[in-house]
Amino acid sequence: MSDAGPGAPEGADAAASAAPVVAGSIRARIGLLVNPVAGMGGPAALRGSDGEDIQARARAAGVQPRAAARVAEALRALEAAQNATQNAAENAAQDV
């Protein structure tokens, strides 16, 4: 049984302890799954985008998938925030 707590996958504690350590903190990796047709039904007033028939109707109404572009925009914002945080930490360390 894992020491990471109830419901944690086996080996979670080992994976956490094997994570690279950077400047006294633990760097984590996350995964991201994107449904490429998410949100297509809304602009076409179709109440969702589940099912090939709904997706075909949305495309017929001129709706194009936007999930990938939205995720890319969100990731760029996260990267900018990470860079700003890292720069602030480095500047603070230099002031010490």
> In tens digits, what is the pLDDT along the chain, a chain of 96 residues?
444 444 444 544 444 445 555 556 677 788 888 888 888 888 888 888 888 888 898 999 999 988 989 999 999 998 888 888 888 888 887 776
Instruction: Return the pLDDT at 53.
Output: 87
Residue 24 lies in a domain: no
- For the entire predicted model, the pTM comes to 0.53
Residue 63 lies in a domain: yes
Residue 14 lies in a domain: no
Residue 41 lies in a domain: yes
Instruction: Return the pLDDT at 72.
Output: 92
Residue 10 lies in a domain: no
- Write out the residue range of the structural domain in which residue 65 sits: 33-95
Which residues lie below 8 Å from residue 27, measured CB to CB, with a gap of 6+? 19, 20, 21
Residue 9 lies in a domain: no
Strand bridging mode 25-26 / 21-22: antiparallel
Q: How many domains does the chain have?
A: 1
